[in-house]
Amino acid sequence: MFCIKAVNKSDNVRINEQIRSKEVRVILDDGEALGLMSIKEALEVANEKGLDLVEVSPNAKPPVCKVMNYSKYKYEKAKKEKENKKKQKNVVIKEIRIKPHIDTNDMETKKKQITKFLEKENKVKISLRLSGREKLHIESAIKVLDDIASYFEEAALVEKKYGKEQMQKYIMITPKK
């Protein structure tokens, strides 16, 4: 077995001769605790087993070091991170813009689009822009958004309503699981 003497900058893990403490608490790779030892004795134990001395808990008093195969440990850690990354789900937010005075046929088209987005499990932000004198009649804009929210009541949840901006009102819809 070989000993790794470099420090991986991304991990900030000290191994073998990189460990700076005079005394360390040593744990074997099978979990057996050897207790407090000088750094020389700990390195000898690691070399006898053909493994590396890895500083697991540098902030402890005294630091805790484990006798293990560092390259295998690093490989398994990378594998776990890759597996966790696969399990993550990216949330996609689709936005649909409408006006307060939207025609019924246009509204049906927008509802079909929203339905398609919800089927693909995307979040949908329906934003309604107010311009000019429309800002004086916010109630009609809110009524349009409420109609859309009530239409999708069974298929989706309304996450956010309206927002605080004067120019734009919106609702955020997420699909039910």
Does some domain include residue 2?
no
Query: Are 70 and 116 within one domain?
Result: no
Q: Which of 35, 51, 81 is the last residue of a domain?
A: 81
Structural domain boundaries enclosing 33: 16-81
> CATH code at 30?
3.10.20.80
Does some domain include residue 6?
no
Considering its fold, how many domains does the chain have in total?
Answer: 2
Q: How far is CA 90 from CA 63, 85, 96, 125, 127, in A?
A: 39, 10, 19, 16, 22
What dihedral angle (degrees, nearest 10) is formed by the CA atoms of 98, 99, 102, 105?
Answer: -20
Query: Are 107 and 151 within one domain?
Result: yes
Sorting pLDDT into bands at 50, 70 and 90, what band is 3? low
Residue 105 pLDDT: 92
Does some domain include residue 88?
no
Query: Are 45 and 106 within one domain?
Result: no
Q: What is the mean pLDDT of residues 89-111?
A: 88
> CATH code at 143?
3.30.110.10
pLDDT greater than 60 at residue 4:
no
Q: What is the mean pLDDT of residues 98-112?
A: 89
SS3 6: coil
Query: Residues 75-113, buried b or exposed e (16+ Cβ, 10 A)?
Result: eeeeeeeeeeeeeeeeeeebebebebeeeeeeeeebbee
